[in-house]
Amino acid sequence: MFYGVDLSSRLLLGTARYPSPAVLERAIKASRAEVVTVSLRREGGTGRAGQSFWQFIQSLGLRVLPNTAGCHSVKEAVTTAHMARELFDTPWIKLEVIGDADTLQPDVFGLVEAARILARDGFEVFPYTTEDLVVADRLVEAGCRVLMPWGAPIGSARGLNNVYGLKSLRAHFPDIPLVVDAGLGVPSHAAAAMELGYDAVLLNTAVAEAGDPVEMARAFALAVEAGRAAYLAQPLEPRDMAQPSTPVIGKAVLGGV
């Protein structure tokens, strides 16, 4: 499904902001995710946080998708991607080039440029983008074989802000794996994305900051499965007029005014 890698789970889970590593581990299991996102940060000569997190990640035996979170320029994102590739030993990179500090909206111009550079360098790029069709076209031209449009701003829990735009994107790219990344708050948002025919969802805060992250992870897993099954079952389009579900032919004639 992603760059030649088949996965059975359609939920990708972030690893940040959990109350403890134990809760994170149980939430990952409950979500049934096979891909977890990770990042990199500065570490001093005496710091051990990164080393113990690395051991934890290895113990999971899952595929990792490192991100370039917090990068605001092409150069920063490209250098970060190279560091991530060496550190996590994977060509996969969730490419984020942030353009606006309040909404964390992607800088789509920088994103396309960075994607082109990284694809040429042999990376398998998962670009965090908007639902803009022309930007998506440019990303595919640049070598991206997965697109990850936002549902809503990162961590906002608002769900799918532009269902029409996400639907158009799906229709324009029937053969490119599409992942709704960011902005989901509750499982029904994830189900809605899957019902549109999206291939997967990527979430973090909605699970990590829920009152019970493990139970929320399980709820999201169920919603993703339900939404996918519904998509495959070809849902009805909404209609303006009522249509009786009970057949009227053969109904008894009992008078009345």
Residue numbers in the known binding site are 155, 182-183, 204-205
In angstroms, give the least distance from the CB of 111 to another protein. 17
The residue written with tokens 């997190």 in the block is 53
1, 7 contact by CB (below 8 A):
yes
Site string for another protein, 208-237 (x = CB under 8 A): ------------------------------
The question of whether 167 is a catalytic residue gets the answer: no
Residue 91 binds to another protein (criterion: CB under 8 A): no
Residue of 86, 100, 141, 212 that binds another protein (CB under 8 A): 86
**Which residues, 6+ apart, have CB-to-CB distance to 18 below 8 Å?**
24, 27, 208, 213
Is residue 22 a contact residue for another protein (CB under 8 A)? no
Which member of 19, 51, 103, 229 binds another protein (CB under 8 A)?
A: 51
> Using the rule CB under 8 A, which residue among 10, 14, 126, 180 binds another protein?
14
Q: How does DSSP classify residue 141? A: H
Q: Which stretch binds another protein (CB under 8 A): 1-9, 15-23, 164-172, 232-240?
A: 15-23
Phi and psi, residue 196, nearest 5° = -75, -5
Phi, psi (deg, nearest 5) at residue 159: 85, -145
Task: Write the interaction track for another protein spanning residues 27-46; mark x where CB under 8 A is met and - where it is not.
Answer: ----------xxxxxxxxxx
Distances (CA, A) of 152 to 2, 23, 26, 115, 139: 23, 26, 26, 22, 20
Does residue 154 belong to the site contacting another protein (CB under 8 A)? yes
Examine residue 61 and tell whether it contacts another protein (CB under 8 A).
Answer: no
Burial 154-181 (b: 16+ CB within 10 A, else e): bbbbebbebeeebeebbeebeebbbbbb
Q: CA 194 to CA 178: how far, in whole Å?
A: 10
How many Å apart are CA 249 and CA 65, to the nearest integer? 57
Q: Is residue 186 at the binding interface for another protein, with CB under 8 A as the rule?
A: no
| Residues near another protein (CB under 8 A) | 14-18, 24, 37-47, 49-51, 53-54, 57, 66-67, 69, 75-76, 79, 82-84, 86-88, 154-155, 204-205
Catalytic residue annotation: 94
